Structure 1
Amino acid sequence: MSKFDLPPSYEESAHHQYGPQQQGGGYPYAAYGFPPQPGVYTGSGQPGMHPPAGTWHGPGYPAHGMPSIIPTFSPSGMPSPNPGDSEGFAAGGLWESMSVRHAFIRKVYLILAAQLLLTTSIVAVFTFVDPVRLFVIQNPGIYWASFAVYFVVYLVLVCCEKPRRRFPWNLVLLLVFTLAMSYMTGTIASYFDTKAVFLALGITAVVCVAVTVFSFQTKVDFTSCTGLLCVMGVVVLVTGIITTIVLSFQYVPWLHMLYAAIGAIVYTLFLVYHTQVLIGNRAHTISPEEYVFAALSLYVDIVQIFIFLLQITGSSSE
């Protein structure tokens, strides 16, 4: 290859095609070696010159006066200066809802612990103090009075659970309900010996802890089985009516044990359901404002499990 076959240098090519290099703004810009394309600034007649700010109108570029970045909008409706702020708002709302739910769960379990402590204390009095036990056995009308108070206050709490701003009437009603149900439970426990009461209490504690851990860990959504739980509740009701009618004429041990076993199983499933409703993030959840109703549901389930287990342990001990 001879030196005539070599391509011309950059300076020779630029001087030959476009003439001397132009000076713009005190800085020499090199000329482009290709024809003008759509979007290339040609207003000054020099295709190699850089355009002033805001005058580029090519395809794929914003027109004059339009910002190069489309602003994102926050949940409040105001544009956020940073496009990544929307993700921050979403993450912040998620963490805020989780913190509210955790505070709600702690409040419910604190109320539930106070209720169970009060009930255990009253049951211990009816179990260990003989004069109180004999008084309750000799006056069954007090038991039916406590049952009436329990039923009426339960309906009031379920129907009118919204908290009051000036005075927490729901907490007062919850205290009255806890006292009534504790007295009713203590009255039932007074008909059984101490060994059966302690055995039922221990089994109830183990079942409640196991059910709570299972409800927090399992991926099975029991809140979507409301129809099945409703049917099982009706089965317990019908079985209880039949058992009451039959046992009023003649005591049948196996029928009594069967009713107690069905009741314990059904209320254990109710405890799973109410625990998952309390946790949230399921098919059905409960509002964080309804902490009294949540504590009430868990408390009733646990006490009913204890009563049914007490009938089983009492019958087996006899």
Structure 2
Amino acid sequence: MSTKMAKSDIETGGGNELYPGMKESSELRWAFIRKVYSILSLQMLLTVGVSALVYFVRPIPEFITETHRGLAVFFVILILPFLLLWPLLAFEKKHPINCIVLSIFTLSISFAVGICCSLSKGRIVLEAAILTSVMVFGLTIYTFWAVKRGHDFSFLGPFLFGALLIILAFTLLQIFHPLGKLSSMIFSGIASIVFCGYIIFDTNQLIKKLNYDEYIPAAIRLYLDVMNLFLNLLGIMSNTQ
């Protein structure tokens, strides 16, 4: 009997289970999680590097914000990530095409983030980055801890999706009817809460739901969660100055 129990522990991961009743191998799931966070770390490093370049090389943001050609370039960069979502999903299992498309996707978002940062003071950008790091780390640790104790955050999916649609609608409305300073700060605060929820939800999916070959979509989800949280925190702090 002890032999059967030992065999069962090896197959399911034994005491190293990520959540109660785990049927898959914990070693394989942990390998998948490490792969996703390795990709995410590379994306964040690339984003920090590109954003810092755009921020400190002042002719770049000046060209974007002060010339018609620059605005056209910035518009293309904003649209590019949406256009790349299809090839990212279509070639997610085809290496190295998936890595190349992911790199272009990350570069385009990094450039846009750099432009947004260039419109704020360096102190505000640094404070927003530190606050984002603390929140992401804390929410990730909390989610792993909660899932380990049997909690499941899959129920958040429909609510977060509905909130995301509202955020997108308000973002489009701001193009034609810009919000005031106070309204923008409140909007950014609500959006920050939504993307905190997305970090918890997507981390839960990473631990329990996603297949091992879905490392590219998993990394993209978490990357977008972090970037959106950072930009909205930056918006809050910029409007308080």
Tell me how far 1:88 sits from its aligned partner. 4.6
Partner of 1:210: 138
Look up the equivalent residue of 2:193 and give its one-letter code: I
Aligned partner (choices 80, 85, 89) of residue 149 of structure 1: 80
Structure 1 spans left out of the alignment, 5+ residues: 1-82
The structure where helix makes up a greater share of residues is 2
Q: Which has the larger radius of gyration?
A: 1
| Cα distance in 2 for residues equivalent to 1:220 and 1:88 | 26
In structure 2, distance between residues paired with 1:125 and 1:252: 30
Q: Pairwise mapping of residues 104-115 of structure 1 onto structure 2 (< 5 A)?
A: 104-115=32-43
Question: Is 2:203 aligned against 1:275?
Answer: yes
Q: Report the counterpart of residue 194 of structure 1 in structure 2.
A: 122
Q: Deviations over 1:14-68 (max 9, x none)?
A: xxxxxxxxxxxxxxxxxxxxxxxxxxxxxxxxxxxxxxxxxxxxxxxxxxxxxxx
The answer on whether the counterparts of 1:260 and 1:312 sit within 8 Å (CA) in structure 2 is yes
In structure 2, the CA distance between the partners of 1:214 and 1:191, relative to structure 1 (3 Å rule), is same
Which of 172, 176, 186 is residue 258 of structure 1 equivalent to?
186
**2:41 paired with 1:117:** no
1:308 aligns with 2:232: yes
Shift of residue 84, structure 1, vs aligned partner: 6.6
1:289 counterpart SS class: coil
Q: 2: CA distance between counterparts of 1:289 and 1:93?
A: 20
Specify the alignment match of 1:59 in structure 2. Answer: none
* Residue 25 of structure 2 is aligned to residue 94 of structure 1: no
**Secondary structure of the corresponding residue to residue 93 of structure 2:** coil
Worse overlay, 84-93 or 215-224: 84-93
> More displaced, 105-114 or 226-235?
226-235
1:238 equivalent in structure 2: 169
The CA distance in 2 between the partners of 1:191 and 1:174, in whole Å, is: 26
* Higher RCO (CA < 8 A, seq sep 6+): 2
Structure 2 residue ranges without an equivalent (≥5): 14-23
Q: Is the counterpart of residue 293 in structure 1 residue 217 in structure 2? A: yes
Give per-residue Cα distances to partners, 1:96-135, cap 9 Å, x unaligned. 7100011111111111111001101111112222222212
What is the TM-score normalised by the length of structure 2?
A: 0.86
The residue type paired with residue 165 of structure 2 is V
Superposed displacement of residue 244, structure 1: 3.1
Displacement of 1:89 after TM fit?
Answer: 4.1
SS at match of 1:222: coil
Q: What's the TM-score, normalizing by structure 1?
A: 0.66
Measured at CA, do residues 266 and 155 of structure 1 come closer, stay the same or move farther in structure 2, by a change above 3 Å? Answer: farther
Amino acid at match of 1:190: S
Name the CA distance, whole Å, in 2 between partners of 1:299 and 1:130: 26
**Count of aligned pairs:** 225
Equivalence for 1:163? 93
CA contact (8 A) 1:243 1:256 kept: no
Contact 1:137 1:190 in 2 (8 A): no
Alignment root-mean-square deviation, CA: 1.9
Distance in 1, Cα, partners of 2:161 & 2:132: 23
Distance 1:311 1:194 in 2: 13
Contact 1:122/1:186 (8 A) holds in 2: yes
Distance in 1, matches of 2:153 and 2:47, equals 28
Report percent identity of matched pairs. 27
